[in-house]
Amino acid sequence: MRVYISADMEGVAGICAWKQVEARGGTEYARCQKLMTAEVNAAVHGALQAGATTVCVNDAHDGMRNILVENLHPGAQLISGTPKRLGMMEGIDRGFTAACFLGYHARAGSPGVLAHTYSEVVHRLEVNGEEMGELGLNALLAGYFGVPVVLVSGDQVLAGEARKLLGNNIEIVIVKEALNYHAVRSLSHRQARTKILQGMLKALARKNLKHLPAPAPARVTIEFNDPARAAAAAILPRCQRLNAVTVTYTGGDYLEAYQAVRSLIGLAKSV
Ligand SMILES: [Zn+2]
């Protein structure tokens, strides 16, 4: 049994401010690196207890150098650094039994804590007409590789996204309630870790796990916060500009569409 973990930071218990998840946050950021690493370790512990032979952790936040390797559970491997070809999903392949998204946050425009989609320059993103955030984009990529998403952790808004997209065949661990963009009511760190460990055990005990079908062709549409961002994104070959702030790209398969999303947002952020 091979288990893949994509670990973000905004959805870790207690976290409610950008300063806590950015290297410039200093000692507060350093503290949150420990919290993130400990939640990851709880999941790794659960996976190994459930019989996993490989647990691969991909650091999926910002510069992707957040997880403290010196504190990482010795049973896990860690992918860190950027750029990575598949970004938040680097390392995923057809051989994984299950994928888990830890410390994830809700999509741009939703009432989740620190809600965004890859970047604050994105106002709204759709895949084949359905609104998606990072959870949806990454779950579809897992689906492209035939890997089911079995566990998600974060706030209650993210939980709603996960339930809608992935149905009941998934364990959702709500570690905090978003009160607004910058405020949460959180479980204790210890309780969050316990629930993540238990969630992993339950998730991997499930039978008949199903991956999401990845659409092909896949049309991604991104509405940016301002026209300068859309103008920069529109430089990507085969991209179409729909209006001042919106661009669209149709990938022959979902992997192409996923990479287009990352390229479009990367270009938009460059101005
Ligand atoms: Zn993040």
Closest to 80 in 3D by CA, of 93, 92, 70, 68 = 68
Closest to 187 in 3D by CA, of 14, 7, 17 = 14
If you average pLDDT over residues 139-152, what whole number do you get?
A: 98
Distance, CA of 83 to CA of 189 (rounded, Å): 30
What is the predicted pLDDT for the residue at 87?
Answer: 98
Under 8 Å between Cβ of 56 and 79: yes
Question: Confidence band (pLDDT; 50, 70, 90) for 58?
Answer: very high
7-28: pLDDT as tens digits:
999 999 999 999 999 999 999 9
Closest to 155 in 3D by CA, of 23, 8, 20, 26 = 8
Q: Quote the ligand 1 centre to 139 CA distance (angstroms).
A: 16
Question: Confidence band (pLDDT; 50, 70, 90) for 197?
Answer: very high
What is the predicted pLDDT for the residue at 105?
Answer: 98
What is the predicted pLDDT for the residue at 241?
Answer: 98
What is the predicted pLDDT for the residue at 117?
Answer: 98
Question: Confidence band (pLDDT; 50, 70, 90) for 211?
Answer: very high
Distance, CA of 167 to CA of 190 (rounded, Å): 28
Which candidate in 116, 123, 182, 189 is catalytic?
116
3-state secondary structure 83-97: CCCCHHHCCCCCCCC
Report if pTM > 0.85: yes
Q: Quote the ligand 1 centre to 147 CA distance (angstroms).
A: 22
220-252: pLDDT as tens digits:
999 999 999 999 999 999 999 999 999 999 999
160-168 — which CB contacts under 8 Å span 24+ positions?
A: 160/106, 161/106, 161/107, 161/110, 161/133, 161/135, 161/136, 162/135, 165/132, 165/135, 165/136, 165/139, 165/212, 166/139, 166/212
If you average pLDDT over residues 110-132, what whole number do you get?
A: 97
Question: Confidence band (pLDDT; 50, 70, 90) for 121?
Answer: very high
If you average pLDDT over residues 165-185, what whole number do you get?
A: 97
162-174: pLDDT as tens digits:
999 999 989 999 9
Q: Quote the ligand 1 centre to 12 CA distance (angstroms).
A: 10
Q: Quote the ligand 1 centre to 21 CA distance (angstroms).
A: 8
Question: Confidence band (pLDDT; 50, 70, 90) for 184?
Answer: very high
**SS3 label, residue 265:** helix
What is the predicted pLDDT for the residue at 260?
Answer: 98
Amino acid at residue number 62: D
Average pLDDT, the chain: 97
Reply yes or no on whether 116 is catalytic: yes
Instruction: List strand residue ranges (DSSP E) for the chain, in order.
Output: 2-7, 54-59, 76-79, 98-102, 122-127, 130-131, 149-155, 171-180, 183-186, 218-224, 240-243, 246-251
H-helix segments, 102-152: 134-144
What is the predicted pLDDT for the residue at 73?
Answer: 98
What is the predicted pLDDT for the residue at 250?
Answer: 98
Q: Quote the ligand 1 centre to 104 CA distance (angstroms).
A: 7
Question: Confidence band (pLDDT; 50, 70, 90) for 2?
Answer: very high
What is the predicted pLDDT for the residue at 225?
Answer: 96
Q: Quote the ligand 1 centre to 10 CA distance (angstroms).
A: 5
Distance, CA of 213 to CA of 237 (rounded, Å): 27
Q: State the pairing for strand pair 98-102/122-127.
A: unpaired
Q: Quote the ligand 1 centre to 158 CA distance (angstroms).
A: 13
DSSP letter for 10, please.
Answer: T
